[in-house]
Copies of this chain bind each other. A is one copy, B any other.
Amino acid sequence: MSEIHVDLSRDLCAARVSPLANHRCTMADVLRLMQVPNFDLEAAERVPATMRRLSPGDTLFHEGTHAETLYFVRGGTFKLTCTAEDGYEQVLGFADVRELLGQDALGVGEYPSTAVALDECSVYGVPMRDVLSLSQQLPAFNAVLHRAASLGLRRRAQLVDVLAAVSAEVRLARFLVQWSRRMGGMGLSTTRFHLRMCRRDIASYLGVAHATVSRSFGALADWGLLSVSNRDVEILGLAGLERLARSTRRNGEDAAEAPRLRGMTALGASVASPRLGPGAGKLHAA
């Protein structure tokens, strides 16, 4: 409700700054972005495409609207959601550089989800109705589409993987491991990063209440696996976090249970006094 209001105002704001600013570019830019090794440069440059910038909170497309454009994320991070009719917003995932947005609309004609920019973003756009014919004309583009489809399917499997975990801590651990790998894949640090989404979004992605996300972060910090300050995360024990993430059904005890009731002396145990107010073992205290 109030979120929708915010979205709209943000949209208007962005529209003022750059009113539907679709800069012209070509398919060659798109293929370069997608790191296609070699392709028919001349042909690609004859195919027009668009480029668009978005600010945090801007909506790239809304669930249910007619799908006119297939997008390629050039930079920034998007949040993909789908909204139940009672207003509950389920986060389906996050997309960053080189991911496709709107591919799941190819068959149906309207977007089944909403894409919202989480930070400064830019995308390339290709008209949806040209996609099929273009994929015939440009084999390189076709390959990109198929690879992206395969990757998209596995991205969704990741979400399933997270939601399938029993405990909230394990879900969060899996999410963080995924995020860490994603950061690594982009050449960034796998142990220190800034989460672009708010707790509520994480909670929705994990399928838990947002209060539980806070508690789980606290638990992971207590176990010495990470330190967290707001959206800045530093993973202290990546191996331990991965082990925890791997745990299923009640055998998570190997990785997690020991510290819980005991004073957790085994792990390094920098948790002198458990409740010292906000951030006993937190980052921002240092």
Q: Is A84 an interface residue (CB 8 A)?
A: yes
CB distance from A106 to the nearest CB of B (A): 4
CB distance from A143 to the nearest CB of B (A): 6
B-side contacts of A105, CB under 8 Å: 150
Task: Name the residue of chain B whose CB is nearest to the CB of A112.
Answer: B154
Residues of A within 8 Å of B, CB-based: how many? Answer: 45
Say yes or no: A85 contacts B160, CB within 8 Å: no
Say yes or no: A113 contacts B146, CB within 8 Å: no
Say yes or no: B147 contacts A156, CB within 8 Å: no
Say yes or no: A136 contacts B147, CB within 8 Å: no
B-side contacts of A113, CB under 8 Å: 157
Task: Name the residue of chain B whose CB is nearest to the CB of A251.
Answer: B86
Task: Name the residue of chain B whose CB is nearest to the CB of A93.
Answer: B160
B-side contacts of A161, CB under 8 Å: 82, 90
B-side contacts of A84, CB under 8 Å: 246, 248
| Interface flags, A76-111, vs B, CB<8A=1, else 0 | 000000101110101010000000000111111000
Say yes or no: B107 contacts A150, CB within 8 Å: yes
Say yes or no: B106 contacts A147, CB within 8 Å: yes
B-side contacts of A132, CB under 8 Å: 139, 142-143, 146
Task: Name the residue of chain B whose CB is nearest to the CB of A136.
Answer: B139
Q: Is A202 an interface residue (CB 8 A)?
A: no
Say yes or no: A248 contacts B86, CB within 8 Å: yes
Task: Name the residue of chain B whose CB is nearest to the CB of A152.
Answer: B153
Say yes or no: A156 contacts B150, CB within 8 Å: no
Closest 4 CB pairs of A and B: A149-B149, A107-B150, A156-B156, A104-B153
19 contacts between A and B (CB under 8 A): A86-B248, A86-B251, A88-B249, A90-B161, A103-B150, A104-B153, A104-B154, A104-B157, A132-B142, A132-B146, A142-B142, A146-B149, A149-B153, A156-B156, A156-B157, A156-B160, A159-B160, A163-B207, A164-B204
